[in-house]
Amino acid sequence: MSFDTVIEVSHLSKSYQIYDRPQDRLKQSLYPRLQRLLGRPPGTYFQEFRALHDISFEIKKGETVGIIGRNGSGKSTLLQLICGTLNPTGGTLRTHGRIAALLELGSGFNPEFTGHENVYMNAALLGLSKEQVDARYDDIVAFADIGAFIHQPTKTYSSGMMVRLAFAVIAHVDADILIIDEALAVGDAFFTQKCMRFLRDFMKTGTVLFVSHDTSAVRSLCTRAVWLDKGRSVMQGSPKDVCEAYLEAFYEAQQGKSVTAGAAPEAAAQPAAPLELRDPRQDMINHSNLRNDIRLFAFDPTTASFGKGGAQVTQVQFTDIHGRPLSWIIGGEDVVLHIEVTAHVPLTSPIVGFYVKDRLGQDLFGDNTYLSHFEQPLACEAGERFMARFTFNMPRLRPGDYTVTVAIADGTQDSHVQHQWVHDALVFRSETSSVAGGIVGIPMRNITMNIIPQS
């Protein structure tokens, strides 16, 4: 095992004995021994199920590796073997460094213990002393953000509260290797974004093993991917190549072998269509169940932020183009994002910007005021308030949770002082969507389909 290899898996296998009847288990424990004593070949009273078969790979320090595969492919079994909660049937497995794992909800917790008691027990299982937990306890509780429930038995927790507490513990144990099994599919947008920020910081120095059915998450987060199917390693390589092969196999399993067509003849040049500012399907979409309903929530001034403090964001909201506040948007129409700022020190060249992020913390789109105002900066004195407005056509978004991160800085695009960066200033949810594929949808200038005449 080389110095920079933190996980080495070599020809790893895991088998289970499946018994049809309870008495068969007793027979298996007694009869084969007697049969050997009598010189007879031992019988078997079980069926062998191989959860993993001959798996081999190495993970280097600092890598983020995604494990993908259908249900029952052996992903969770592999993680439990790496964590040491299961013993392999064959092969070898070596790890180097402290491992923190977030596997099944509630694993490592006693349901009768309070959250407070489970923090100490779970942290002890991960190798921390009581003194170390004492020093980090307040940070763990603040990260989990479950309020007075920390003193209630965890059997009373919702799944979201359970994953909050479990993730808060593993985020504070100074692990070298972090293992996560689909846990971030549970929880609200605020907490998921908090976890993703922690993960992206952890990935700069630590090693992450990440299991998910979400191939877009694997492509976004991972540097390498491993595809398991029926307990075997099918493919290892770049997340893009592995995910594409996995999706192709998934659809082939559902609908039969794909047919690779030859290159299509080059289409005859067509004159450019006039620019359409409105999707011609918009009226139909807005009166159907395909409507892109986006529900907005109010700005929370207490949300997590950082910066020098020379200016403060005091309001963030969406309005229509007439300035009327919105709590609901139908994707595809023009909206205005208002960001109000109060200066606490003189600002010579303030820059206000925003990002819209998905639940994984991926930046979908964003902009700032620099290019529009660098020739004539909006200087302001301490105590003055000013407003930045961004007018744009709201993209159509896939169903899910989204956040708006906003920031106020002073200087230039390349050299500036960050006065406040506000994570999750606004949260909104796309309830339904007409997005056919990809991360966002765009207005179509035209969509046609017709029969091609036979030549």
Strands 5-18, 47-60: pairing is antiparallel
What the block records as the tokens of 371 is 């290019």
Q: CA–CA separation, 131 vs 340, rounded Å?
A: 45
The CATH homologous superfamily of the domain defined by 293-430:
abc- transporter (atp binding component) like domain (2.70.50.60)
pLDDT of residue 104: 66
47, 68, 77, 231, 452 from 209: Cα distances, Å: 31, 11, 13, 17, 50
What the block records as the tokens of 76 is 């969770």
pLDDT of residue 232: 92
Dihedral (CA of 174, 401, 421, 299) sign? negative
66, 146, 258, 397 from 247: Cα distances, Å: 15, 38, 12, 22
Q: CA–CA separation, 453 vs 148, rounded Å?
A: 71
| Contact in structure between 408 and 274 (CB atoms under 8 Å) | no
Q: CA–CA separation, 226 vs 236, rounded Å?
A: 5
pLDDT of residue 207: 93
CA 364, distance to chain mean position in Å, is: 14
| Contact in structure between 10 and 91 (CB atoms under 8 Å) | yes
Residue 232's closest CA among 340, 73, 77?
Answer: 73
* Phi, psi (degrees; rounded to nearest 5) at 27: -60, -40
Interhelix angle for 115-125 vs 159-170, to 10°?
A: 40
CATH 3.40.50.300 domain extents, the chain: 61-252
pLDDT of residue 150: 93
Q: CA–CA separation, 18 vs 24, rounded Å?
A: 10
182 sits in the region (left: phi over 0; alpha: psi -120 to 50; else beta) called left
pLDDT of residue 267: 44
How buried is residue 417: exposed, middle or buried, by Cβ count under 10 Å (0-12/13-18/19+)? middle
Across the chain, which distance is largest between two alpha carbons, in Å?
98
Q: CA–CA separation, 102 vs 87, rounded Å?
A: 18
CATH 2.70.50.60 domain extents, the chain: 293-430
Looking at domain 61-252, which CATH architecture does it have? 3-Layer(aba) Sandwich (3.40)
What the block records as the tokens of 164 is 């909050």
Cα end-to-end span (Å), the chain: 66
Intervals of the chain under pLDDT 70: 1-3, 104-107, 183-188, 251, 254-292, 432-437, 442-448
Q: CA–CA separation, 305 vs 407, rounded Å?
A: 9
